[in-house]
Structure 1
Amino acid sequence: MLAINDIKFFITIAACKNFSTAAKQLHVSAPYVTQKLRSLEEKLGLILIERQGRQLKVTEHGQILIDMGPEVIRQMASIEEQLRSAKDDLCGHINILAPIGFGEKKLSPIIGQFKQQHPAVSIDLTLSDRPSWTDAPLQPDIMFYIGELTQAHLYRMVISPTRRVLCASPDYISTMPVLTTPEQLMTERHNCIVLRENNEDVSLWRFQHIESGKEYRLRVTPSLTSNIADVVKQWALDGLGIINRSEWDLITELNAGTLVELLPEYSLPQVDIVALMATGESARARKISRFLEFAKGRLKEIL
């Protein structure tokens, strides 16, 4: 009889180009994948995958498993979750995708705390400097995102509001011309440090004067760029220039005075921390809803 784990196994290897890639996804050896597939095919009496050189081709019978398997997995997970809900016990698996800096510093401890409270829930956390729902190595159940949203087909929940802050170190401020308007970033030849993230137009800096509402759009020429937030922040701490970053990542430095906010009379675009999901609240698995509630509460305490 076909087991749920057999279906999960086959769907995973069918999505890969070869057995080596599948083995990495499954955290096993390539020979194990080959042997497991052979055993599955013998159990069914059918060929599910054909080898074409180094590539894998799913057969007609294998395609049936791919088409119908995910729904079977979802139904079984739903049955198990409903049975466990009688004693308020969560179970199942959650795939989470998040930006590197936020995921490492803020989200990973929260996941650990949630796991301690709900040991029957397993969680996979994938971190990326360009998180994308469609390009993720594992299909996300939740994708945390900070920045301009472009994936309008997904359901959105604001986890924590935050803002962008323009700042620099006291050493940099003491050696450069006083900055009183956004235009001076260009005319006074200030050093601008840029974080590459989310495939956004990161060298276009936007400001709005809080009192008058006047907007400014400046195309800065970065003196330093990186795709890692901590690298960019360290350059600013070392007095190498000005950064335009999310406030959640600068709270410690701003409070300590090692970074100083610039142009406080101007606001920068809001960059809320949001969770993106494929389903609305009514259709969302209980483990997903409970994790989101937990993460939202914890972030409210620490941000």
Structure 2
Amino acid sequence: MKKSNLNRLEYFVAIVEEGTITAAAERMRISKAVVSKQLQLLEEELGATLVVRNSRHLNLTEVGQSFYEAARASVAQAEEAFEAVRQGRNEPTGNLRITAPLDMGVTYISPVVAEFRIAYPAVTIDLTLSDTRFDPVEARFDIAYRVGWLADSANVARKLAGFQQIVVASPRLVEQFGRPEHPEDLARLPFVEHRALPNPLHWQFESTSGETSGVQMTPALRADVTPAIKAMVVEGAGISILPDFFAKREIDNGTLVRLVPDWSLPAGGIYAVYPPTQFRSAATKRFADLLAERLRKNLA
């Protein structure tokens, strides 16, 4: 049986991560012809098409996507093995790609990214903050942090904390419209809609006695990121619904007040989501543990 050329895995991983053969060649500091030839030989060796080429882009086939995940893990393991021998210890190295919602990312994750990079300067971190829910496999993230509720998938998830959704308003708006006593009273108030949510206008409340109330809000403003929504609410433009951890500071200093506190909305969770691979780099594991520790302290 012919022995596989494992070096071709590194070429293939570079092609996928850089998006083109030209960019992969520049990253590896070799000629474009060599990279192209190695991809061709790898596909011949496997007897499968891994990428579909056109003049500008390379798109992975279904087989190519699966093979990429395995190849990436193998290359990362090899790099860590070399680095562990060089350093005499298993210190985090390499690249770490993270995505998180904007509100959580700015408040909680960005400071930990800075702390982690100072502690482990051999790691290069790429942080993407967006309320778009990227799939960590398709978008090639090592960790995707999620706030809310998880859809079923093959990805691996770890719950880090829970949170409550709360209705908030500025004292100015409460003075103008009065304080609502029942969730149904919220429907008459201007509402700031979070456009990124799957059902942003209909909310189901439950009282401490078990009574339920469904409320359909009327949007006065719309936005797609939570910090912008909070800023609008603080200025008195409308009420909205925010995670309790993201409104805590403003409630404590009096710039926001909680409405209908005797009624609750469905609780959510904060999760770390990983691609479904057996191998995770030392950087991924160490960062995940550090962030989980910081969240426990900050959200306690």
CA distance in 2, matches of 1:90, 1:117: 10
Alignment of 1:194-209 (within 5 A): 194-197=193-196, 199-209=197-207
SS at match of 2:98: strand
Contact kept, 8 Å, 1:236 with 1:242, in 2: the verdict is yes
1:151/1:134 CA distance change after superposition, 3 Å: farther
Give the drift of 1:43.
7.3
Query: 2:256 matched to 1:252?
Result: no
Q: What is the CA-CA distance between 1:176 and the residue it aligns to?
A: 0.5
Distance between the aligned counterparts of 2:55 and 2:279, measured in 1? 42
Between 1:86-95 and 1:75-84, the stretch displaced more is: 75-84
Q: Identify the residue that residue 267 of structure 2 maps to in structure 1.
A: 270
Q: Per the alignment, in what secondary structure is the counterpart of residue 201 of structure 1?
A: coil
Q: Distance in 2 between matches of 1:278 and 1:215?
A: 38
Tell me how far apart the structure 1 counterparts of residues 69 and 292 of structure 2 sit (CA, whole Å): 35
Deviation track 1:231-284 (CA, whole Å, cap 9, x = no partner) reads 21111111111110011211211111010011111112212211112348x854
Structure 1 contact 10–37 (Cα < 8 Å) conserved = no
Partner of 1:213: helix, strand, or coil?
Answer: coil
**Which residue number corresponds to residue 228 of structure 1?**
225
Once the two structures are superposed, residues 152-176 of structure 1 have per-residue CA deviations (whole angstroms, 9 ceiling, x without a partner) of 4322222232211111001000110
Which one is further off, 240-249 or 155-164?
155-164
Structure 2 distance, partners of 1:63, 1:201, is 32
Could you say if the C-alpha distance between residues 136 and 130 of structure 1 is closer, same or farther in structure 2, counting changes exceeding 3 Å? farther
SS at structure 2 position matched to 1:299: helix
How far did residue 220 of structure 1 move?
Answer: 1.3
Residue in 2 aligned with 1:193? Answer: 192
Q: Which amino acid aligns with 1:72?
A: S
Query: What is the alpha-carbon distance in structure 2 between the residues aligned to residue 106 and residue 201 of structure 1?
Result: 26
Contact 1:6 1:40 (C-alpha < 8 Å) held by counterparts? yes
Once residues 39 and 147 of structure 2 are traced to their aligned partners in structure 1, the CA distance between those partners, rounded to angstroms, is 46
Aligned 1:109-188 pairs, distance under 5 A: 109-133=111-135, 137=139, 139-186=140-187
**Which TM-score applies when normalising by structure 1?**
0.78
Paired with 1:245 and 1:134, the residues of 2 have a C-alpha distance of 25
Looking at structure 2, the residues matched to 232 and 45 of structure 1 have their Cα atoms a distance apart, in angstroms, of 50
Matched, 1:105 2:90: no
* Structure 2 residue matching 1:289: 3-state secondary structure: helix
Assess, with a 3 A threshold, how the Cα gap between structure 1 residues 85 and 54 changes in structure 2: closer, same or farther. Answer: closer
Q: CA deviation at 1:215?
A: 2.1
Q: Does 1:10 align with 2:15?
A: yes
Q: Determine which of 273, 288, 296 is the counterpart of 1:300.
A: 296
For residues 33 and 109 of structure 2, the distance between their equivalents in structure 1, rounded to whole angstroms, comes to: 40
Select between 83-92 and 166-175 the one with higher mean Cα deviation: 83-92
Contact kept? 1:110, 1:295, Cα under 8 Å? yes
Cα distance change on mapping 1:94 and 1:226 into 2, 3 Å: same
Distance change >3 Å, CA 86–CA 266, structure 1 → 2: farther
Provide, for residues 99-153 of structure 1, a one-character-per-residue CA deviation record: whole Å limited to 9, x for no partner: 122112321111110111122222221122212216854x122110001211443
Partners of 1:167 and 1:235 in 2: CA distance: 11
Structure 2 unaligned spans of 5+:
44-50
Q: Could you state the TM-score of these two structures normalised by the residue count of structure 2?
A: 0.79
Q: Do the aligned partners of 2:136 and 2:274 also contact (CA within 8 Å) in 1?
A: no
Mapped to 1, the partners of 2:66 and 2:191 lie a distance apart of 54
Label 1:176 to 1:89 Cα distance change in 2 as closer, same or farther (>3 A): same
Shift of 1:63: 10
CA distance in 2, matches of 1:99, 1:67: 24
1:81/1:243 Cα in 2 relative to 1: closer, same or farther (>3 Å)?
A: farther
In the alignment, is the contact (CA less than 8 A) between 2:167 and 2:242 conserved in 1? yes
Instruction: Confirm whether residue 73 of structure 1 aligns to residue 75 of structure 2.
Output: yes
Structure 1: distance between partners of 2:124 and 2:214: 45
Match of 2:46 in 1: none
Percent pairwise identity: 25
RMSD: 3.7
* 1:65 positional shift: 8.3
> What's 1:218 paired with?
215
* Structure 1 residues without counterparts, runs of 5 or longer: none
